[in-house]
Structure 1
C-alpha cells in the first residue's frame, strides 16, 4: 500500500500524542493501516480495519517478527459512510476511538515510548484529514 501520510514525533511518542484520521471507504476491498514506528523500523502499534470481514486488527512487529494479533469483532465503520478514527497514547496504552466512541485499547509492547518516532498511514483510499498533535493530559487529580 502507498504511504499517504508520514510524520515524525519530535522527542518520541510521549504520553499525549494523538492521531486523527477522517475518511470514507467505498468498497469492502478498501484497505488502510496506521503504524507507529520506532527509530529502528520496528512497528510499536499496527492498526488495520478489515472491511471485508468486519474486524479491527492490532499488532506489533518487533525483533523481525509479528507479535500475537489482537482481533476485535466490534466494527463501527460502515461502507460509504464517513468516519473519524483517533488513536491517543498515554503511558500504558494506545486508545482507539471511532466516531468518538472508545472501541479498544492496546498495551504498549515497545518501550521506552520515546523510541517511537514516526507515524505512517498507508492506504488505497484518500483521507481528507490526517492530523498528528499533542494534547494536554488530565491526570485525574485536577492537574494537567
Structure 2
C-alpha cells in the first residue's frame, strides 16, 4: 500500500491499519517518506521477539532505534494500529492504547509526502485521513 499526503504531513494526519498475523514470522512495516525518499518514520512490529521498533533513515543511514517492549499484538488475533502526527511527535496506538511516541527527526513535516505499508500480511483496512488535533 502507498498513499500520498496532499500538502505534506502536517499536524493532524492519521494512518489506520487493520490486520492479523498468523505466524511469528509475519512481518510488516509502516514508513512515512520524504520527497527525497528518506524515511522520516519507520515503524515495525517484531512478532518474533515481541517488540515494536521505531527509527528514521536519513543521510543514507539509519538513526538510533527506539525499541518498545509493550507488545499488545497477538498471533491470530485482529489488530488495529493508528499512527497520528502532531507538530512534535508520531503517536502510535494499538487497540486504542498508546504504545509509542516518536519525536519528529525529519523537518519540515510538509516535506513528508508518502506513506507505505509493506507486508507479508493481508490488511482489510488501510486508511489515511486528516483529523482535528486531539492530543
Shorter-chain TM-score range: over 0.9
Equivalent position of 1:26 in the other structure: 22
2:108 is aligned with 1:112: yes
Mark the runs of 5 or more structure 2 residues left unpaired by the alignment.
Answer: none
Structure 1 stretches (4+) deviating beyond 3 angstroms? none
Structure 1 position 50, deviation (Å): 0.3
Q: State the distance in 1 between where 2:66 and 2:133 align.
A: 26
Q: Using structure 1 for the length normalisation, give the TM-score.
A: 0.92
Q: Using structure 2 for the length normalisation, give the TM-score.
A: 0.99
Q: State the distance in 1 between where 2:125 and 2:40 align.
A: 23
Equivalent position of 1:123 in the other structure: 119
Mark the runs of 5 or more structure 1 residues left unpaired by the alignment.
Answer: 139-143
Deviation string 1:53-93 (CA, Å, 9 cap, x unpaired) is 00000000000000000000110000000000000000000
RMSD of Structure 2 on Structure 1 (CA): 1.1
Q: State the distance in 1 between where 2:43 and 2:5 align.
A: 18
Deviation string 1:7-31 (CA, Å, 9 cap, x unpaired) is 0000000000000000000000000
